[in-house]
């Protein structure tokens, strides 16, 4: 897999959020033209993307902000965790409580609470940019 794309309404805020998780901005650019229209299946695409890379260099997130056509909102506006389709993105972290505290100023909100899975992991779900679900996992055992 090369990357996972997330459509956002505030590209700078999304970059800041994922940078706080340790991802690095690899590049930023404008996407438009006939190739984009044909690839995506929309007419008149004008978008800006930011490619975020994990510290190990093996995984990427493509953050996309559509200028035209405007992005459409999901129904319901904030889908629950059991909505069909892309469910969530998970990150392994060294300190789950510190990571949550650092993400809160970027709009992150816990869906539930930090829970322990057996003697192996602390886990949580939180809302990230554009309402996506970001899961955090801290290995403890």
Per-residue pLDDT of 44-91, as tens digits, reads: 999 999 999 999 999 999 999 999 998 888 788 778 888 877 778 999
CA triple 108-71-18, angle to 5 deg: 30
- Give residues with Cβ within 8 angstroms of 60, minimum separation 6: 2, 3, 4, 26, 51, 52, 53, 54
List CB contacts of 47: < 8 A, sequence separation 6 or more: 30, 31, 32, 36, 64, 65, 66, 67
Predicted pLDDT at 86: 74
Looking at residue 1, what is its pLDDT? 80
CATH 3.40.33.10 fits 89-139, yes or no: no
At residue 73, the pLDDT reads: 81
Lowest mean pLDDT among 23-27, 82-86, 103-107, 134-138: 82-86
Q: What would the mean pLDDT of 84-101 be, rounded to a whole number?
A: 91
Q: What is the rounded average pLDDT of the residues 3-15?
A: 94
Q: What is the pLDDT of residue 112?
A: 94
Contacts of 58 (CB under 8 A, 6+ apart): none
Kindly report the average pLDDT of the chain as a whole number.
93
Pair of tokens at residue 22: 């340790």
pTM, 2 dp: 0.90
> What ranges do the domains of the chain cover?
4-68, 89-139
Q: Do 66 and 45 touch, CB atoms closer than 8 A? A: yes
What dihedral angle (degrees, nearest 10) is formed by the CA atoms of 39, 66, 129, 62? 40
Domains 4-68 and 89-139 share a fold: yes
Q: Please list the residues that pair with 5 across neighbouring strands.
A: 62
Contact 8, 63 (CB under 8 A): yes
What share of the chain in percent tops pLDDT 90? Answer: 81
> To which CATH superfamily is domain 4-68 assigned?
2,3-Dihydroxybiphenyl 1,2-Dioxygenase, domain 1 (3.10.180.10)
């Amino acid at each position: 897999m090369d990357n996972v794309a997330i459509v956002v309404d505030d590209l700078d805020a999304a970059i800041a959020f994922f940078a706080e998780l340790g991802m690095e901005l690899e590049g930023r650019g404008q996407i438009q033209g006939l190739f984009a229209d044909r690839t995506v299946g929309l007419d008149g695409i004008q978008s800006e993307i930011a490619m975020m890379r994990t510290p190990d260099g093996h995984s990427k997130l493509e953050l996309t902000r559509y200028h035209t056509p405007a992005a459409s909102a999901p129904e319901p506006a904030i889908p629950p965790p059991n909505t069909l389709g892309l469910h969530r993105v998970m990150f392994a972290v060294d300190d789950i409580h510190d990571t949550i505290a650092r993400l809160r100023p970027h709009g992150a909100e816990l869906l539930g609470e930090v829970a322990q899975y057996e003697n192996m992991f602390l886990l949580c779900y939180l809302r990230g940019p554009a309402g996506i679900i970001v899961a955090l996992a801290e290995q403890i055992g």
